[in-house]
Amino acid sequence: MHGPLFAAEIAPPKTKIKLGMDNFAVRAMGWKAPQLLDYAASLKLDALLISDLDAYDSLADSDLRDIGRKARDLGIDLFAGGWSICPTSKSFKNKWGTAEEHLALGIRVAHALGSPVFRCVLGSMEDRHTQGGIKARIADTVKVLKASATKAKDAGVKIAIENHAGDLHSWECAALIEEAGRDFVGCNLDSGNAAWTLEDPFDVLATLGPLTICSSLRDNMIWATPDGASVQWTACGEGLIDWKKYAARWAELCPTVPMMIETISGFAKNFAYQTDDFWQHYDKRPERLAAFEALAKRGHELSPFKSPDGTDKKLAEQDYQKGELERSIKYLREQIGLGVKA
């Protein structure tokens, strides 16, 4: 864990990087878009990713334009997002129709809001175990993207594919984007999910940074276990990422993209990568694994979050989520020098 740091000891990135949040960081609040914008404004954030379509009371263009206008009046760059666009993913939901219909809706929503992107995902690590494996799911996702290319280009909206929940190694995400078309597809980079494919977040940034058009970031704590390693996501500055170096690299690779924080803390996930079965579903690259293992040697076990006895569990969860996000914002602004607003 990082020790105390003082602003005078840290040189800020050469390029002033905007600082924002992903609304999933405070999912327990159940806030809709107007409340999320007010909260982001109260934190003096530069950007907000609303990563689900359920956050809008109405998807009518006129109502979405009002939300976009409110964001602009608050000086907040608004980014739109949705869910899986892989029709064969275990994560896919037909709530918004077919994968193509979901993507078309997302493009329309983003355009009406004034968002430059529509963030979506392939699925999760469970898709690595499906028939044909992750390569087949990538092919299905690329097909949907290519079928939607004209809609996206006409609307001036780029599709941001996230490295999500262990579904894609960074090189697999990059290959998906390249195959679909970099002219309208980019990456929503997630530094927490980077560790769920047994990669060092810096390696993932090096691979996906040049393709990044949106973000959902948090810190990681990693420690060795008898059969592999465990990962627990943390508030920024409380894990293993050197955010001073990370922000400097971000400024080199994707300086115009806000660093938006999506804290999802309080639980650990174990990866039994020292068992033979594990590598039937993952692409083992020794140099990438070595960097991940080096992090695990530096890390230490964390306890999971538990609501204090005698407290309202919902309120405790809300307070916990806000605390994780707000500590991250404070750390990144005061210690690393992120954010445009004073």
pLDDT tens digits, one per residue of 37-92: 999 999 999 999 999 999 999 999 999 999 999 999 999 999 999 999 999 999 99
pLDDT at 119: 98
Q: What is the pLDDT of residues 187-220, one digit of tens each?
A: 999 999 999 999 999 999 999 999 999 999 999 9
Token couple for 183: 């002219």
Of 193, 180, 248, 188, residue with least CA distance to 213: 188
Beta-carbon contacts of residue 286 (< 8 Å; ≥ 6 apart): none
> Over the range 213-245, which residues count as b (16 or more CB within 10 Å of their CB) and which as e?
bbbbbbbbbbbbeeebbbbbbbbbbbbbbebbe
pTM of the model: 0.95
pLDDT at 276: 86
Other Cβ atoms within 10 Å of 179 Cβ, number:
15
Q: What is the pLDDT of residues 291-331, one digit of tens each?
A: 999 999 999 999 999 999 999 999 999 999 999 999 999 99
Q: Which domains does the chain have, with CATH numbers?
A: 7-334 (3.20.20.150)
Q: What is the pLDDT of residues 270-294, one digit of tens each?
A: 999 999 899 999 999 999 999 999 9
User: Does 15 have pLDDT greater than 80?
Assistant: no
User: Does 154 have pLDDT greater than 80?
Assistant: yes
User: Does 24 have pLDDT greater than 70?
Assistant: yes
| Longest alpha-carbon distance in the chain | 56
User: Does 8 have pLDDT greater than 60?
Assistant: no
Stated as kind and residue range, the H or E segment containing 47 is strand 47-50
Q: Show the DSSP H helices in the chain as ranges.
A: 33-42, 61-73, 99-113, 133-147, 149-155, 170-180, 191-194, 201-208, 243-253, 286-298, 313-334
Query: What mean pLDDT do residues 105-113 have?
Result: 98
